[in-house]
Structure 1
Amino acid sequence: MENQDNQPSPASIMQIGSGFWASKVLLAAIKFQLFSKLDEKGSMAAQEIKATLNLKCTDIHMYDFLDVLTGLGFLSRKGLLESAIYSNSIHSDAFLVKSKASYIGGMLEMLNNRLYHHWGNLEDGLLTGLPQNEIKSGNDNLFEELYKSPERLLEFIDAMGSIQMGNFNAFAQQFDFSKYKTLTDVGGCGAALSSMVAQYQPHMKCTSFDLPVVEPIAKEKIAKTSFGDRVVTASGDFFADPFPKADVVVMGNILHDWDENKKILLLQKAYDALPEGGAFVAIENVIDDERSKNVFGMMMSLNMLIETGTGFDYTFSSFNKWTKNVGFKSTSIVPLTGPTSAAIAYK
């Protein structure tokens, strides 16, 4: 909160306090598929963009919208106001064009359609300890509620795949798979992790395990890859049913959904599914033990308050304690991308 001269400054306070402004500008652009439409045309003037998106705001507000996106690094611009021509920045071109395999907008779509509104109730969540989303009054199981709607189910699966894409890619290349032949991804959603491991590790056979309602979507996504001979699906409830046995059991953003007792139950089930020497891997925003650096991990933990009420993200020290109690012999941690790490326990 201080500047370089060690003098108090309100700048960072206001930047963070108004941070939702910048967030909502990006999320609106995602909802309008602005980056995808710019990719189709290559570049467009503001008036052409306005007509293409069917926006009715004044011209100056259109310029404001596009120039904010430019200032934030999402668009490139030549000229100014009436003469300006806009195109995607290299980052938007790589990650925000919906037709590209590298698209990470699925999570941004869910942030806009669901979480932006639910986070408006953070104070109520802290006051009550209760979820602040679709299950605020009614069903106590978020996933049952989400999965009632095919549209919301697909949005959720795409969101989970996109938020972890970079991490799955890094894990598939950085983890030492030389001792292993099989992998089970518990809560595998659209089989993104299994497909990524199959791509980089041609000796591995992978199973994506999730609820029966998810399986057809996972199969459809697997069919679009060239790894269908080494990536399969299995369906079941990971609390009620045993995990498919494998040399490596992975959970990506699964443990943090639950309270401590359920975390330990899932770790026990993973232990039971592994052979001696097998590895359990949790790919999540593992919080640093000092709880001072991985601020995103702690905000993700608050998101679990919003989503589940009792779920939370955790430190590596907590992971070590839980896995030791279950019976795992040793642990290690591998940084992946951004705030995410692979916390690994060996049987």
Structure 2
Amino acid sequence: MNNTQNHPTPESILQIASGFWASKILLSAVKFQIFTTLAERKSMSAGEIKSLLGFKCSDRNVCDFLDALTAFGFLNREGILETAKYSNNADADFFLDRNKPSYIGGLLEMLNNRLYGFWGNLEEGLLTGNPQNEAIQGENLFDKLYADPARLEEFIQAMSGVQMGAFMALAQKLDFSKSKTLVDVGGSAGILSLMVAKHQPNMNCITWDLPAVTPIADQTIQKFQLQDRVKTAQGDFFKDEFPKADIVTMGNILHDWDEETKLMLMKKAYDALPEGGVFVAVENVIDENRNKNAFGLMMSLNMLIETGTGFDYTLADFNKWATQVGFKSTSMIPLAGPTSAAIAVK
């Protein structure tokens, strides 16, 4: 009789405990633009990569780095060590080549440049309840980010990266047949509006955000050549009412805030909709038993790091808030990976 499955094993403990090793290898590869370079050159040897990037470490160290990326499934390899030739796998080529519109590396760049260090202070965040980021105590993180054009650009590209797959899925899975207009509140670079316009020719979209974001969104809209059906508009969701539309969306907005602010934002969305209108929150909705969507739970802890009071939530939480605001029904559509669309109908 085989009892091995009943024996304790440290495998998962070691895998999670050393997870930052794997993370840093991938984030470093994005920083060095290895996937972009391989997309251009198709394949390269470890020696060629070492020379191009100016690495001073040993040849074996470079091979270890590239072979780890191969073991993770991001690179393909023919040969071994000095005879090896490396190339991107399909996912890395599609999502991590900076020159493709499908690039999600902006998120990885922000993880490397900002959050990797801040997460080292998770214990302090749990002990104090205070955010652990570049904002000074009592200062609003978003005010800090929006005041620095370079940091704002990085943040917006990160948001585009983490949401691209989900927005593509939303544009194809949500029922748009009874709608003509959409407003994306906190629309950032405009990716949600662009994906909807691209897949739903009946839809006209507005991506609505603070004035500092508008030039970035306009550039993105021009890249997709959808200026006829995707427009930018400026507003502050703390001060202004939302533009009227058949559908109001928010991508990773509600989780930034405490419950009181979540309710305020949902009430503004309700007021902007006609009877039968739809509010959609695209988030990493946590499963009801809170034991499956690990990414959603980690994202909720990331809100502690970033805002101190924000948190991610379950569909039951969303339903409770929607009912309080006045919506008549709620539902959920799984999108991509850990992300879902929480939907409320007026």
Q: One fold, TM greater than 0.5?
A: yes
Partners of 2:83 and 2:225 in 1: CA distance? 46
- Measure, in 1, the Cα distance between the counterparts of 2:91 and 2:216: 28
Which residue of structure 2 lines up, in the alignment, with residue 102 of structure 1?
102
State how 1:140-159 maps to structure 2 within 5 Å: 140-159=139-158
Partner residue, 2:313: 314
Question: Which residue is equivalent to 2:88?
Answer: 88
Please tell me whether residue 25 in structure 1 is matched to residue 25 in structure 2: yes
**Per-residue deviation at 1:87?**
1.0
Query: 1: CA distance between counterparts of 2:106 and 2:259?
Result: 29
What's the CA shift for 1:138? 4.2
Paired with 2:319 and 2:60, the residues of 1 have a C-alpha distance of 55
What is the CA–CA distance in structure 2 between the aligned matches of 1:217 and 1:84, rounded to whole Å?
A: 40
Q: Indicate the larger mover: 241-250 or 218-227.
A: 218-227
Counterparts of 2:101 and 2:213, CA distance in 1: 20
Instruction: Give the whole-Å Cα distance in 1 for the aligned partners of 2:177 and 2:29.
Output: 43
Quick one: distance in 1 between partners of 2:91 and 2:264? 40
3-state DSSP class of the match of 1:47? helix
Listed as ranges, the gaps of 5+ residues in structure 1 are none
Distance 2:175 2:262 in 1: 25
Q: Distance in 2 between matches of 1:238 and 1:87?
A: 45
**Separation in structure 2 between the aligned mates of residue 281 and residue 128 of structure 1, nearest angstrom:** 33
Q: Which amino acid aligns with 1:38?
A: L
Matched, 1:161 2:160: yes
For the residues of structure 2 that align with 1:288 and 1:70, how far apart are their CA atoms? 32
* Corresponding residue of 1:225: 224
Equivalent in the alignment of 1:50: 50
The 3-state SS of whatever aligns with 2:124 is helix
Residue 55 of structure 2 is aligned to residue 37 of structure 1: no
Instruction: Return 222-231 or 274-283, whichever deviates more.
Output: 222-231
SS in structure 1 at match of 2:304: helix
For the residues of structure 2 that align with 1:80 and 1:140, how far apart are their CA atoms? 52
Measure how far apart 1:102 and its partner are. Answer: 1.3
> Could you say what secondary structure the match of 2:6 adopts?
coil
| Residues 201-244 of structure 1: CA deviation (Å, up to 9, x unaligned) | 11111000000110111111112222111111111111110101
Letter in 2 for 1:11: E
* Aligned equivalent of 1:63: 63
Query: Cα offset for 1:93?
Result: 1.1
Query: How many residues of Structure 1 are paired with residues of Structure 2 in the alignment?
Result: 344
Q: In 1, distance between residues paired with 2:4 and 2:224?
A: 51
State the 1:91 CA deviation.
1.6
Residue in 2 that maps onto 1:16: 16
Question: Secondary structure of 2:134's match?
Answer: coil
Task: Write the letter of the residue equivalent to 1:63.
Answer: C
State the 4+ residue runs in structure 1 displaced beyond 4 angstroms.
none
Matching of residues 325-340 of structure 1 within 5 Å:
325-340=324-339
- Contact 1:251-1:283 within 8 A present in 2 as well: yes
The Cα of 1:139 is off from its aligned counterpart by 5.2
How far apart are 1:310 and its partner, in Å?
0.3
- Is residue 2:123 matched to residue 1:123? yes
For residue 346 of structure 1, what is the amino acid of its counterpart?
V
**Superposition RMSD in Å:** 1.0
The equivalences for 1:180-199 within 5 A come to 180-199=179-198
How far off its partner does 1:112 sit? 0.5
With the length of structure 2 as denominator, give the TM-score of the two structures. 0.98
Separation (CA, whole Å) in 1 of partners of 2:206 and 2:249: 10
Tell me the SS of whatever aligns to 1:228: coil
State the SS of the aligned residue for 1:213. helix
Aligned to 1:342: 341
Say whether the 8 Å CA contact 1:139–1:145 is kept in structure 2.
no
Pairs within 5 Å for 1:1-12 = 5-12=5-12
Give the residue type in structure 1 aligned to 2:315.
F
SS at match of 2:330: strand
Distance apart, 1:150 and its partner CA: 1.1
Letter in 1 for 2:191: A
d(CA) in 2 for partners of 1:324, 1:340: 22
Percent identical pairs in the alignment equals: 65
Name the CA shift for 1:64/1:346 in 2 (closer, same or farther; >3 Å). same
